[in-house]
Chains A and B, each alone.
Chain A
């Protein structure tokens, strides 16, 4: 199985036995196959349930802003994207560095369960998965099949260039896991992620509107995208206000959906780490990452490249100066 799991359990047991941390926040096997769910280990016995595999997608850093974790020393399992998220939270004083112990893990790319199910063509129960370098070996009793990584890995992981947190910034870095060769090659560029954007940009105005209308009208306003986002870290979200002036729960109003998604894109765009959680968790499969990526690309185009969580704070939208291009000057219009 996954080597990192063993190392993780060892370090978690050590940390909990010595009392260095109060709890370890990691993942454990969920009720269904190919599902890892967040798990809090508070004793060495519980630490034996911790795992890390290709399905540990959820960013755990968001738990740190909850009241229950205040005044506790927490060991946190972080992948590359999670670590970038938590660096932003540290920079914005959402959490204090001495409050957390970071267990960095070498990320082997996250596998989309739905895609895997589609590729295999049957339910994942009773199947045994063996992760090889170039393919996934699926064993159904005696039958063996090979599934390519390309179709099942999250597209965001395929072009990820910061999969593993840097060693200096985490307290301990666990490596030695199996990394699919497709991720090692790094032959995919970030531009591959923007394919959909280019296609949408080619549409006419009405086609664009219809495209987004079709997608956004399915929005249930469940706020999963907000809750899963590792950089959406306001203590009180503007959409949670008791008497909101701007937005309500009306689901038959396209304008309200547009409003919610535009505002959310604006609130996170400059800090977006590109983990793709927003569109993964969406129960309606709305391609929400496109909004963030589009804005992010514009930011890069107009104001220079900025990689959230890697480059220095402040983020592009939280400062402004005279030297930036003016698109609304006398000459432009």
Chain B
């Protein structure tokens, strides 16, 4: 279902130490990125529990993005190692259950990579626009 006017909703969980700073830099640098994104600041990307991601999908998100520090740069040493371990499993389970894993994006963005943040969001938005509305994991009682 591709609509001309369809604007996907993206929930982005950004790690406080790198990716949120990256997003901040994109803002202060006046870089324009799509307004489809809703940023939620989390202390660390490993804070993003599987339930948070699923809840975002239930509540009307068309895509969920998790952005953390590059491996090796974690403020808490091992946080993003946990993230990548979990997320690769979640993606494979989503595939197994017939839920498109492309709707979950994991990206490492550091504090000075404003350009990377911008391009990531742009690409993700473009991809989701092509994919259309996401209904498969939606709780139908939640209004869009």
Contacts and interface: CB of A to CB of B under 8 A. Distances in A.
B136 A324 contact: no
Interface in A175-213: 197, 200-201, 203, 205-213
B31 interface: no
B82 interface: yes
A13 to B, nearest CB: 48
B86 to A, nearest CB: 7
B34 interface: no
Interface stretch (B8-16, B21-29, B36-44, B48-56): B48-56
Interface residues of B, number: 35
A207 B108 CA distance: 33
A130 B120 CA distance: 67
Contact of B97 (A258, A266, A298, A317): A258
Given A208-B97, A209-B98, A209-B99, A262 B85 contact: no
Nearest to B82: A320
Interface of A is mostly: helix
Contact of A255 (B81, B98, B138): B138
B132 interface: no
B93 A291 contact: yes
Interface residues of A, number: 46
B90 interface: yes
Interface of A: 197, 200-201, 203, 205-213, 238, 245-246, 250, 253, 255-256, 258-259, 262-263, 265-266, 269, 291, 294-295, 298-299, 302-303, 316-317, 320-322, 324, 326-330, 333
Closest 5 CB pairs of A and B: A209-B98, A208-B98, A320-B81, A255-B139, A328-B106
Interface of B: 50-51, 54-55, 57-58, 71-72, 78, 81-82, 84-90, 92-93, 95-100, 106-108, 136-141
